[in-house]
Structures are given as structure tokens and as C-alpha cells.
């Protein structure tokens, strides 16, 4: 089965390419610029800018994938807020081009986000949407385009993805915590936000099941624990035997952010557990796997 993955140079994209190619899928990885996956694996790479409709059409026509996993995005809320025109091009136009030019028989899997919801998480798949910022709004509009397509479509929403940072991947929040504590540097981390962080291999496995079972509709692929960034940081310290006293417990008011983010976010995973047999690791296990301890 031919699976085309967009945004293959990004954090989730790289893990998806490595996971699905290891599982025997015929993977076509597409992203901007040079291929940044440094690990050897069996897949094909194409450098494309998804905002160029002509190139998108050509690549889809060349490979005719059975499955398109649209993972690429302008994924940083602050960047989207500062450059709304670029955000619309990368998050909405690119989605439209892929939807228009993939085979009508292709399974289209769109990677969305918990940011399509507002406060009062954790949320179920069908909860009322209400993005609090431009990034969330752009992802919600892309979801609506996907829902309008005739054929097999799936929307996947992860939260706060973490996992191993292989060579060529950007480090996650957990690595920032580890690096600072190892250097004896104090850090401030907020405790008045809640998330359900997703271990990256869990989402890869969930997507693999969605492909194999040909599931349609929306699925939340998140972690099982509702936890604040402060508690994530102290778990990293506990697991790695680092000095927890360096982590200062602060509120969001300490870091006035230009972009509004939900305090109570997070996603419920009951549907994924029932339909996909999704069985994510708990946060502590995820941290151990992330750092191989
Ligand atoms: N990370 C999280 O915690 C999180 C949580 C919820 C949802 N998500 C969603 O999950 C997906 C992956 O997130 P991520 O954190 O792995 O993102 P990421 O590291 O920022 O990767 C996104 C990739 O997409 C590529 N890309 C963006 N625009 C493109 C374009 N026009 N043409 C070709 N490639 C393009 C980027 O290329 P460059 O490398 O050249 O910039 C980047 O490699 C996104 O859809 C995001 O909205 C992420």
C-alpha cells in the first residue's frame, strides 16, 4: 500500500515515515527542502512546497498514493498569528490542493490538533469547536474542507506530542527540561494548564490501525494522563534522577503570551480505545521510552 506523508521533515512526520516504512508500507515522504531524516529506512523522498498547486498535482499524479497523510502545517501558533496570510496558504490552501488532486479512492488522513477546541477540556471528538487563536482557526477550516470531500477521510487530533528526538529532529519540551536540569540551570514551568501529552509512537500506531481498518471520521490520539507542564517537568526529573528543586512552579501569568491558549485543554481517547484498540503508554513510561531509561 502506497502512503504519501506530507511534512516528513517535521517531528511527527519523521516518526511517521520511519514507523510506517518499518511496518512494510510503501512510503513517499514529502517536505520542503532537503530530506532531513538522518536514519536509514526504505522510503522515497520528494521535495515540494505544498502551496504550489502545480507541483502538488504532479507529485500526486506521479505516485497515485492509496493513502495521503496530510501532516505538514505551519504548526507554531505565534508564527500563525504574526503571519496570517502565510498561515492560510500553508494550512488551508495546501490542504485544498491535496484534496483536489489525490485519487478519489485515496484514504485522506488529516492531522489536526486540540487547538480546534476552546476551554473546558478534555474534549471528545464531537464537542463543539471554538478555537482561541488563528492557528486553531486555520486547522478547523482545513478540517471542514476534509469533511466535505466525498470518499474515505479521517481527522486525527493529537495533543502536545513528545518522543525521541533522533538526529535531524527538533528536540521537544522534555529535552529542554532535561538539558537545563543537567546543566544545573533553574527553570520556570507553568502548573495552571492541563494537557494530555501524546507519545509519538502511540500516534504512529493509531494511524497505522486507522489505515488498516479503513476508519473514517475523527479520532483523538492523545495520552492517558491529564497533566500540567510543571508535572511533566517533575516527572522528567524523577525518571532521570535530576534535581527537581530547580523547577519553579509558576502560573501562566509569568509568561504573558501574544496568542491565547486554553488552560484546560486535552482530549478524551475513549473512542480510539474502543474502535482502534488504542492503548497509549502512561506519561512516565513515555518519558522512559523517550530517553531510553
Ligand atoms: N507538535 C505538537 O505537539 C502537535 C500537537 C497537535 C497537533 N499537531 C499537528 O501535527 C502535525 C505535525 O506537527 P509537528 O509538531 O511535527 O510539526 P513540525 O515539526 O512543525 O513539522 C511540520 C512540517 O511541515 C513542513 N511544511 C510546512 N509547510 C509546508 C509546505 N508548504 N510545503 C511542504 N512542507 C511544509 C515543515 O517544513 P519545514 O521543516 O521546512 O518548516 C515541517 O517539516 C501538524 O499538522 C500540527 O498541526 C502537532
pLDDT in tens, 24-58: 999 999 999 999 999 888 999 999 999 999 999 99
Given a cut of 90, is residue 134 above it in pLDDT? Answer: yes
What is the pLDDT averaged over residues 279-283?
98
Q: Is 7 a pocket residue for ligand 1 (Cβ < 6 Å)?
A: yes
> Are 233 and 214 in a shared domain?
no
Q: Is residue 274 part of a domain?
A: no
pLDDT of residue 281: 98
**How many Å lie between the centroid of ligand 1 and the Cα of residue 8?**
8
* CA-CA-CA-CA dihedral for 160, 161, 163, 166, to nearest 10: -120
Q: Quick one: which atom of ligand 1 is closest to the CA of 51? A: 31
Given a cut of 90, is residue 62 above it in pLDDT? Answer: yes
What is the pLDDT averaged over residues 212-223?
98
User: Would you call 184 exposed, middle or buried from its count of C-beta atoms within 10 A (0-12, 13-18, 19+)?
Assistant: exposed
pLDDT of residue 170: 81
CA 137 to chain centroid: 16
Write the DSSP symbol of residue 162.
E
Q: Which band of pLDDT confidence, cut at 50, 70 and 90, is reported for residue 243?
A: very high
**How many Å lie between the centroid of ligand 1 and the Cα of residue 202?**
18
Structural domain containing residue 187: 171-195+225-265+282-291
> Are 75 and 212 in a shared domain?
yes
Cα–Cα distance measured from residue 28 to residue 45, given in angstroms and rounded to the nearest whole number = 6
Given a cut of 90, is residue 258 above it in pLDDT? Answer: no
CATH assignment at residue 189: 3.90.25.10
> Are 98 and 28 in a shared domain?
yes
- Total domains in the fold of the chain: 2
Q: Is residue 234 part of a domain?
A: yes
Q: Is 33 a pocket residue for ligand 1 (Cβ < 6 Å)?
A: yes
Q: Is residue 166 part of a domain?
A: no
The pLDDT > 90 percentage for the chain reads: 95
**How many Å lie between the centroid of ligand 1 and the Cα of residue 9?**
8
Q: Is 13 a pocket residue for ligand 1 (Cβ < 6 Å)?
A: yes
What are the start-end ranges of the H helices in the chain?
11-22, 53-63, 77-82, 84-88, 94-101, 134-148, 173-182, 200-213, 229-240, 270-276, 283-291
* CA-CA-CA-CA dihedral for 61, 65, 70, 74, to nearest 10: -40
Q: Is 195 a pocket residue for ligand 1 (Cβ < 6 Å)?
A: no
**135-189 pLDDT per residue, tens:** 999 999 999 999 999 999 999 999 999 999 988 788 889 999 999 999 999 999 9
Say if pTM beats, i.e. exceeds, 0.95. yes
Phi, psi of 120 (to 5 degrees): 65, 35
Q: Is 15 a pocket residue for ligand 1 (Cβ < 6 Å)?
A: no
What is the pLDDT averaged over residues 8-14?
96
Amino acid at each position: 500500500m502506497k502512503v504519501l506523508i506530507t511534512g516528513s521533515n517535521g517531528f511527527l512526520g519523521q516518526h511517521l515515515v520511519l514507523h510506517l516504512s518499518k511496518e512494510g508500507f510503501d512510503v513517499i515522504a514529502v517536505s520542503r527542502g532537503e530530506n532531513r531524516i538522518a536514519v536509514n529506512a526504505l522510503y522515497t523522498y520528494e521535495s515540494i512546497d505544498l502551496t504550489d498547486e502545480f507541483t502538488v498535482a504532479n507529485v500526486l499524479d506521479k505516485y497515485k498514493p492509496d493513502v495521503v497523510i496530510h501532516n505538514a502545517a505551519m504548526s507554531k501558533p505565534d508564527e500563525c498569528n504574526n503571519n496570517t496570510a502565510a498561515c492560510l496558504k500553508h494550512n488551508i490552501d495546501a490542504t485544498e490542493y491535496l484534496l483536489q488532486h489525490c485519487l478519489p479512492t485515496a484514504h485522506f488522513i488529516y492531522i489536526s490538533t486540540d487547538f480546534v477546541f476552546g476551554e473546558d477540556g478534555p474534549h471528545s471528538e464531537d464537542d463543539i469547536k471554538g478555537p482561541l487563536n488563528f492557528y486553531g482557526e486555520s486547522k478547523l477550516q482545513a478540517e471542514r474542507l476534509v469533511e466535505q470531500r466525498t470518499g474515505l477521510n479521517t481527522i486525527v487530533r493529537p495533543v502536545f506530542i513528545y518522543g525521541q528526538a533522533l538526529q535531524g529532529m527538533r528536540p521537544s519540551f522534555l529535552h529542554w527540561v532535561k538539558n537545563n536540569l543537567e546543566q544545573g540551570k533553574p527553570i520556570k514551568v507553568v502548573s495552571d494548564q492541563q494537557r494530555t501529552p501524546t507519545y509519538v509512537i502511540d500516534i504512529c500506531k493509531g494511524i497505522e490501525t486507522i489505515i488498516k481498518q479503513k476508519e473514517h471520521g475523527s479520532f483523538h490520539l492523545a495520552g492517558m494522563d491529564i497533566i500540567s507542564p510543571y508535572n511533566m517537568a517533575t516527572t522528567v526529573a524523577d525518571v532521570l534522577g535530576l534535581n527537581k528543586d530547580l523547577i519553579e512552579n509558576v502560573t501562566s501569568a509569568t509568561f504573558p503570551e501574544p496568542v491565547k491558549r486554553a488552560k484546560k485543554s486535552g482530549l478524551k481517547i475513549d473512542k480510539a480505545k474502543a474502535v482502534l484498540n488504542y492503548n497509549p503508554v502512561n506519561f512516565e513510561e513515555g518519558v522512559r521510552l523517550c530517553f531510553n531509561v
